[in-house]
Structure 1
Amino acid sequence: MKNIIIGVGNLLFKDEGVGIYAAKYLEKNYDFDDSLEIIDGGTLGFKLMSYFQEYDNVIILDTVSIEDEAGSIFRLPSHVLLGLGNYRKTAHEVEIVEMLEICSVLDKHAQVTILGIIPEDIVSVEIGLTKKIEDKFEDYINTTLKEVESIGIKINKKDNKTIKDIAQGLIGSYNGEHLSRVPNEEDIRYANVL
């Protein structure tokens, strides 16, 4: 069986990046069976369609636009998601639902599950999560780990990196705190010499 976790969102708009942070957090802090791949799907939209066709299980980590309290976590199997007409509020939500609709008529497609968290702020242009979503982040990770275990994948904890560590490793900033140097600065300097 081929399984994949896809972190979706945009790191530039506060809580909109939670899916990407969660995917990177899992990648840095846990080891999984070889049958599980983790990727940063960012805002790839329809380019993610091939994963829906090539894998047996697809777990999407993302924000969800459902009327409820910020920080609430939802497990939405694809058949449930397709029934939520008011779910489509952001560009990538529209694309995910449209991909699911297309895949539902194909002979072979993955079992797709969205693990979504309701954001507090996806409008502010700032790298980092709001305090409310930070406080729920561990619950979100634990929900994801339970989902991964439910499809038969073994998990080993290997590190204790924080969301801040993850974000600063990716972009060099988190909620206004900046690293003293750009991540991979040595690689950039080396590339400019060549």
Structure 2
Amino acid sequence: MSTTLLIGIGNVLYADEGIGVHFVNYIQEKYQFYHPTNSIDLLDGGTLAQGLIPILCRYDNLIVVDTVNSPGVNPGEVYSFNFDQAPPEIDWQGSAHEVEMLQTLIMMEMVGDRPDTHVVGVTPTVIEPMTLGLTPSIQAAVPTMEKVLLKHLTEQGFTYQQKAEVDINALIPDSYKRGTLAYA
């Protein structure tokens, strides 16, 4: 049996930087996932980075949802790639938590504990302290992020069923309360 973790990374108090957390909460509310032999867990990873190592190393596959920095790219541009084959334009310098997550994944690789890692990322618009919510560019990117995530999971043999109509903006006010491991 193979295990997959879908983890959202970001600081929900810094506007678009919280998209990873908001998106994973959105997917958790909207879908139920199935696989004949494998399991998937969903987690709000916040900004814990290295503190997540004991959790991350228990999984065979990891899907990280986060902001990604790519100079010269418009806000809301969605990326989906294997961590080992990151596009050259991704520079991992968007925010402190982004750099820490990159360092965490590299450290895990060095000791042989990093799961096979896939990234679903979006370039942010606004990263401002104490701004809860997403800008229109990032809100507009959510359907594309959803599509690439579902495509990736389908390629991994998962099926899914929509269990609810969900508006990501309706989840944001309570996002800081959801920081626990949730099973799909």
TM score, norm. by length of structure 2: 0.85
Aligned-residue CA RMSD in angstroms?
Answer: 2.3
Which has the greater radius of gyration? 1
Match of 2:163 in 1: 158
Does the CA contact (< 8 Å) of 2:4 and 2:39 recur in 1? yes
How far apart, CA to CA, are the structure 2 residues paired with 1:169 and 1:31?
21
Taking a change above 3 Å as real, the CA distance of residues 56 and 13 of structure 1, as seen in their structure-2 partners, is same
Q: Which has the higher contact order (CA 8 A, sep 6+)?
A: 2
Asked if the contact 2:66–2:122 (Cα under 8 Å) also holds between the matched residues in 1, the reply is yes
1:149 has 2:150 as partner: no
Identity, % of aligned pairs? 26
Task: Select the residue among 42, 45, 58 that pairs with 1:41.
Answer: 45
Compared with structure 1, are the counterparts of its residues 146 and 82 closer, same or farther at alpha carbon in structure 2 (3 Å cutoff)? closer
Q: Which runs of 5+ in 2 are unaligned?
A: 178-184
Q: Structure 1 residues 156, 122: closer, same or farther in 2, change over 3 A?
A: same
Give the total of aligned pairs: 173
Q: Tell me the residue number matched to 2:3.
A: 2
Structure 1 unmatched runs, 5+: 173-194
CA 80–2 in structure 1, closer or farther in 2 if over 3 Å, else same: same
**Shift in Å at residue 124 of structure 1?**
4.9
Instruction: Write 1 or 2 for the structure with the bigger share of helix.
Output: 1
**Whole-angstrom CA distance in 1 between matches of 2:53 and 2:60:** 13
SS of 2:119's equivalent in the other structure is: strand
1:85, CA displacement in angstroms? Answer: 7.8
Contact 2:70–2:90, Cα closer than 8 Å, also in 1: no
Q: How does 1:35-184 map to 2 (within 5 A)?
A: 35-67=39-71, 68-81=73-86, 86-170=91-175
